[in-house]
Amino acid sequence: MIEKAKENLRKAIWVARSLYDRNKTAGSSANLSFRERDLIYITGSGTCFGNLDEDSFSVVGLDGKHVSGMKPSKELPLHALLYKHAESVGAVLHIHSFYATLWSCLEHGNEKDCIPSYTPYLKMKLGTVGLIPYAAPGSAALFDAFEKAIGDSDGYLLKNHGPVVGGKDLMEAYFCMEELEESARIAWELRKEQAAAI
């Protein structure tokens, strides 16, 4: 188990650095986690995806109780809710990527599937993307709204905030997040083109 956790820490550091180096997140705004049996390894409060190391993580129980390491991200409850909802979820990723965040600021008719399927890949990789009503980051109101929406969609956009996805492991969550961001970029660019043509 210790070796598996160390391997996942290395993957988590790689995923975070890849996203940071390609401007998919900035500063200390993102967080990620993975599950090892009854423990959650989550990036610590105030950490930056650009310089994570093995000491940048907090270890907590599924009940949120701190076990070891630094103070966990304030958005730990988002991660814990996804793990609680489905045992198949082994990793969770939350970032503030540019196009997904832009898309989250718009009004959408279908809040259970708010990103259009202009290409087949979002549905193939992730599925539907639900829009969670706005509440302040790290607030009980946000966690309550998120809990109410879990199960209605496969991935989530926090309104005026950014995307949250889960996966069976870190790499699946990473690939799903990449596809969500790319699909939001395509939707945004097509929206601009359509507006310009009017």
Residues annotated as catalytic are: 75, 121
CA distances in angstroms from 48 to 33, 36, 53, 65, 141, listed in the order given: 14, 22, 10, 23, 25
| DSSP 3-state of 29 | coil
Q: Which of 172, 192, 173 is nearest to 184 (CA)?
A: 192
**Kindly report the CA angle at 183 between 182 and 185, in degrees rounded to 5?**
65
Q: Where are the beta strands (DSSP E) in 12-82?
A: 31-36, 39-43, 57-61, 66-69
Query: What single letter denotes the amino acid at residue 125?
Result: K
Axis-axis angle for helices 2-21, 170-197 (nearest 10) = 20
The CA distance from 159 to 183, in Å, is: 17
